[in-house]
């Protein structure tokens, strides 16, 4: 498994409190530091504000050879909602070509659909596959939210990549045997939402009222941290790292210092007994807490 630096925080206001994005030059500095220090994967999307543009400016500087990098991006959400089936391939190709121009590259390593419900429409998945056939993407997949969407992708002959939510608080994919299905179908997996949009980083006093039911869960996590000597970030990353079927752990950062801390956390070895405790303590947390798109303010 490798780390993959997510860029949504670079391109738009993001997080539990929609924290303002950083200066583009600072974001490029973070990307370059990551690439120079062993993180060769970058995840972005057309919908992440100016994130594709920032990633493209980093690639254009060529401080790291393109062939040494793994770049994934995503189509615009709802891209095909008003399209006839006969137009799916053309619209998807036009969309990826715009992204490639912005990214200053002639291919991406993975091109994801950003509307997870498209995973349930076989005709769209078949159309997506055409950008792989044309060499515009080396892999194609869907960024999904729910296990049924992930299962549909695993069953499709036209999809060979998944990006799924999975964290110490969100066990839905594992409980639905998605890792086993992906391994059997040779569908690659990247994991996102590891820090639950920054919720795992918050102190109790910082948790907003609409997420108040997270407070006792975070307290429980802090007790586990105290008992084991590991930080929240150590445990959040280690929990994903144990899954051998996962190719990339996609994570976001606010600062270069945070990037360095996260990289150090990823290197730590954590006993399996700690993860067994996590599986037991956080096995049935409601989806409206662990899936940020369901948060109600």
Q: What is the pLDDT of residues 19-63, one digit of tens each?
A: 777 899 999 999 999 999 999 999 999 999 999 999 999 999 999
Q: What is the pLDDT of residue 17?
A: 61
CA separation, residue 262 to residues 40, 163, 253 (Å): 15, 20, 8
Paired with 142 in beta bridges are 113, 162
* 214: nearest Cα among 227, 194, 235, 200: 200
Q: What is the pLDDT of residue 104?
A: 97
Whether the per-residue pLDDT at 184 is higher than 80: the answer is: no
How far the first Cα of the chain sits from its last, in Å, is 35
* DSSP secondary structure code for residue 140 in this structure: E
Band (pLDDT 50/70/90 cuts) for residue 283 is confident
Band (pLDDT 50/70/90 cuts) for residue 134 is very high
Band (pLDDT 50/70/90 cuts) for residue 288 is confident
d(CA 260, CA 253) in angstroms, rounded, equals 10
Average pLDDT over the chain reads 94
Q: How many CA atoms lie within 13 A of 244 on its CB side?
A: 2
Q: What is the pLDDT of residue 294?
A: 80
Q: Give the pLDDT confidence of 246-268 residue by residue, as tens digits.
A: 999 999 999 999 999 999 999 99
Q: What is the pLDDT of residue 25?
A: 95
Whether the per-residue pLDDT at 183 is higher than 80: the answer is: no
Query: Cβ(200)–Cβ(168) under 8 Å?
Result: yes
Mean pLDDT computed over 166-178: 94
Paired with 42 in beta bridges are 5, 71
- Tell me the pTM: 0.94
Query: Cβ(168)–Cβ(239) under 8 Å?
Result: yes
Q: What is the pLDDT of residue 15?
A: 65
Lowest mean pLDDT among 21-30, 62-71, 129-138, 278-287: 278-287
Band (pLDDT 50/70/90 cuts) for residue 18 is low
Mean pLDDT computed over 6-11: 94
Lowest mean pLDDT among 152-161, 242-251, 276-285: 276-285
Mean pLDDT computed over 263-277: 95
């Amino acid at each position: 498994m490798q780390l993959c630096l997510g860029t949504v925080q670079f391109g738009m206001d993001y997080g539990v409190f929609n924290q303002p994005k950083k200066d583009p030059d600072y974001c490029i500095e973070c990307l370059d530091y990551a690439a120079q220090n062993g993180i060769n994967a970058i995840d972005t999307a057309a919908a992440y504000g100016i994130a594709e543009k920032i990633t493209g400016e980093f690639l254009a500087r060529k401080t790291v050879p393109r062939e040494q990098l793994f770049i994934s991006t995503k189509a615009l959400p709802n891209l095909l909602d008003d399209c006839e089936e006969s137009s799916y391939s053309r619209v998807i190709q036009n969309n990826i070509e715009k992204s490639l121009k912005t990214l200053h590259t002639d291919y991406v390593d993975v091109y994801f659909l950003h509307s997870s419900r498209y995973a349930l429409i076989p005709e769209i998945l078949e159309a997506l596959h055409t950008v792989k056939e044309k060499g515009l993407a080396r892999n194609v997949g869907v960024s999904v939210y729910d296990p049924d969407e992930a299962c549909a992708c695993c069953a499709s002959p036209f999809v060979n990549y998944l990006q799924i939510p999975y964290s110490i608080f969100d066990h839905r994919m594992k409980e639905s045997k998605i890792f086993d299905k992906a391994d059997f179908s040779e569908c690659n997996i990247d994991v996102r939402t590891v820090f639950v949009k920054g919720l795992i980083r918050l102190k109790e006093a910082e948790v907003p009222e609409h997420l108040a039911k997270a407070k006792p869960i975070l307290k429980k996590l802090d007790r586990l941290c105290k008992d084991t000597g590991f930080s929240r970030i150590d445990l959040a990353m280690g929990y994903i790292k144990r899954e051998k079927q996962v190719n990339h752990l996609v994570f976001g950062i606010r600062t270069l210092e945070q990037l360095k801390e996260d990289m150090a956390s990823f290197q730590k070895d954590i006993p399996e007994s700690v993860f067994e405790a996590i599986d037991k303590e956080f096995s049935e947390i409601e989806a409206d807490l662990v899936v940020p798109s369901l948060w109600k303010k």
